[in-house]
Amino acid sequence: MFASGGPHQLMWSNMFDPEKKRIKKDTDWRRIAGLFRPYFKQEIYLLIAIVLSSCLGLLPPILTLWIIDKALPQKDFVALSWYVGIMVGSALLTGAAGVFQGYFNSVIGEGIVRDIRTALVTHLHKLPLGFFTETKSGEIINRVSNDIESIDNVLTGTLVTVVSNVFTIITTIIAICVLDWRLAILSIGILPLMIVPIFPAGRKMYDVRKLTRKKRDEVQALLHETLSLSGISLIKSFGQGIYEKERFNDIGSALMNLEVRLAMVGRWFIMIVTAMVVVGPAIVWLVGGWMVMKYGVTLGIIVTFVALLNRLYGPTAALAGVQVQLVSAIAVFERIFDYLDMDIETEPLQPQTLELIKDQIAFNDVSFSYPKTRQALEHVSFSIKAGQTAAFVGHSGAGKTTVTQLLPRFYDPTEGAIAIDGTDIREFNLLSLRQHMGVVTQETYLFHDTILNNLKYARAEASDDEIMAAAKAASIYEFIDSLPEKFETVVGERGHKLSGGERQRLAIARVLLKNPQILILDEATSSLDSHNEILIQNALAELMKGRTNLIVAHRLSTIIAADIIFVFARGRLVEQGTHDELMALDAYYCDLYRKQFKEGQS
């Protein structure tokens, strides 16, 4: 048996458990490294290109030494020509290595970004419905889009810069030690001044960057809410343009201040690093010039040494500069891992496959509470025989829709169990459970796509005849046929180019095309006018035969013929029976029916 509490409750506890967060942080670096494993072959090629570029980069300074100390003093034009030719050849080879380096860098970086984006979106699809009711959609979109783009910039630019600069620094240190160990010690002694300040500055950057990302979530959420069709309609209807301007400006100002703080973090440190790029070679010129005068060190060695220092201090300064990008990436990776660590909808260890529904659907002492809100159901028990049409009625908030959300396991009961043919639905594979259910909700959602593709979302392999039959059964075919582009008509964002009734009939056609064993209609005819409602009701009466049907209805006149009616009040099942039986009781249902009858007469 399952313990009380659904997956959404586990998810919330994981999000706010400090111990789990600490463990997760300890493994973040290993997880980031694991993203590179599938691209091991490309990484080897990239490393070869980087090493080749670093080594070839040493040739011009060394050739400069030979030109100054050998070819020119000896007036050997042939040697000079060879040195210059080798210098030109090394430059071309370095450029070619850079092309290959860029290619493999892009393949690795873009491949990892694709893998992260796919993993994140796939994981989000598996999260419980409670996550989406608790989280602003703008925040989710920000993590999938802007956060991933931030990682893209780091993976395709910053990381390869770090690796290539490290190899450049290593090869340069070896070269200057071979050239003159005394000047090498002097040059390397300056490096700590450029490196040590990285750590406190990096910690501060990390903290500010996390705050900045959180504020960006707020901006994205506000944009998503106010620039959607529903949001902009609400703003205009209430005349709240000035309020929304001020609200957006306030959030934007807070983000601006954080960005300014981030830009100023470590600014003095960067000033020191930049100065050392000039001060270091100047010191070498001073000491090296003195060595030329006193100890006979050749001018070529000093010139070459100073040239090599550009390969030492320049990459070191660059490594300090990428601190911002690396810190940003770490903060972004943590945000993405936060989502990837959330518990998905629970699957049984040994899942069963739901085949034909032969006996009944049973709610056994089921209670359910929405996270952080209210108790929706309290100790509800009832059963529906296979092939029956069951209706759920009651005032708004009575628990009717919650029943239809528990059956496909959009949520799990906090107490009790739901069974199909005696088997707890949590024992079934989720996909097989939901494949047998068709749902039409009060709020119809259509993709910004053609009518045909919206219908085929139910069953991609459906034939033209099946699609046409479903459209006719839902009384939408004549409307589609009257359109200039017919089934190829694009319905617009959320289907808003269609009327409410047209959207609802398309949704009914879509679920009929799925041909499920269990049909769930949650106010499915609420957006239809009386003429279309009659057509739909007649079509559904025939199509519901052989299926188990659950209907949530506000208008009681639409469910008089139901095999059984369940009456809910404040989360409890208060009455059940046929229409005639409930009317004979002269209680709650009877009061509802008489009230609606009087309203219809007025």
CA–CA distance, 51 with 197 (Å, rounded to integer): 28
Residue 12 confidence (pLDDT): 36
Residue 10 confidence (pLDDT): 39
Beta bridge partners of 352: 428
Backbone angles phi, psi at 102, to 5 degrees: -65, -40
What lies within 8 Å, CB to CB, of 540 at 6+ separation is 508, 521
CA distances from 338 to 14, 37, 153, 434, 594 (A): 10, 21, 21, 28, 53
pLDDT per position as a tens digit, 391-449: 999 888 888 989 999 999 988 999 999 999 989 999 998 888 888 888 887 777 888 88
9-40: b (≥16 Cβ within 10 Å) or e: bebbeebeeeeeeeebeeeeeeebeebeeebe
* Long-range Cβ pairs for the range 136-142 (8 Å, 24+): 136/217, 136/221, 136/224, 136/225, 137/221, 137/224, 138/217, 138/220, 138/221, 138/222, 138/223, 138/224, 138/225, 139/217, 139/218, 139/220, 139/221, 141/220, 141/224, 142/216, 142/217, 142/220, 142/221
CA 311 from centre of chain: 40
CA–CA distance, 587 with 394 (Å, rounded to integer): 13
Residue 82 confidence (pLDDT): 92
Residue 129 confidence (pLDDT): 81
Strands 518-522 and 548-552: parallel
DSSP state of 516: -
Sign of CA dihedral 592, 595, 597, 599: negative
Residue 120 amino acid letter: L
Q: Which residues of the chain have pLDDT under 50?
A: 1-23, 601-602
Residue 529 confidence (pLDDT): 63
Residue 330 has a CB neighbour count (10 Å cut-off) of: 20
Helix (H, G, I), strand (E, B) or coil at 211: helix
CA–CA distance, 431 with 375 (Å, rounded to integer): 28
Contact predicate 278/156, CB 8 Å: no
CA–CA distance, 385 with 23 (Å, rounded to integer): 49
91-130: b (≥16 Cβ within 10 Å) or e: eeebeebbebbeebbebbbebbbeebbeebeeebeebbbb
Alpha helices in 497-578 (DSSP H): 500-514, 530-543
User: Which residue, among 150, 55, 156, has the nearest Cα to 102 in the 3D structure?
Assistant: 156
Please give the structure tokens belonging to residue 346. Answer: 């629970």
CA–CA distance, 128 with 337 (Å, rounded to integer): 17
pTM of the full predicted structure?
A: 0.73
User: Which residue, among 37, 494, 449, has the nearest Cα to 232 in the 3D structure?
Assistant: 494
Residue 196 confidence (pLDDT): 66
pLDDT per position as a tens digit, 105-133: 888 888 888 898 888 888 888 888 878 87
Contact predicate 6/411, CB 8 Å: yes
User: Taking the domain 7-197+266-340, which CATH number applies?
Assistant: 1.20.1560.10
Classify residue 282 as exposed, middle or buried by CB count within 10 Å of its CB (0-12, 13-18, 19+).
exposed
Contact predicate 425/357, CB 8 Å: no
pLDDT per position as a tens digit, 151-202: 777 777 677 778 888 888 888 888 888 888 888 888 888 777 666 666 666 6
Q: Mind spelling out the 3-state secondary structure of 75-139?
A: CCHHHHHHHHHHHHHHHHHHHHHHHHHHHHHHHHHHHHHHHHHHHHHHHHHHCCHHHHHHCCHHH
CA 272 from centre of chain: 39
CA 367 from centre of chain: 32
DSSP helix, strand, coil percent of the chain (3-state; round to 5): 65, 10, 25
Residue 336 confidence (pLDDT): 85
Helix (H, G, I), strand (E, B) or coil at 226: helix
Residue 20 confidence (pLDDT): 47
Contact predicate 284/293, CB 8 Å: no
Where do the domains of the chain lie? 7-197+266-340, 352-436+554-602
Fold of 352-436+554-602: Rossmann fold (3.40.50)
CA–CA distance, 94 with 96 (Å, rounded to integer): 5
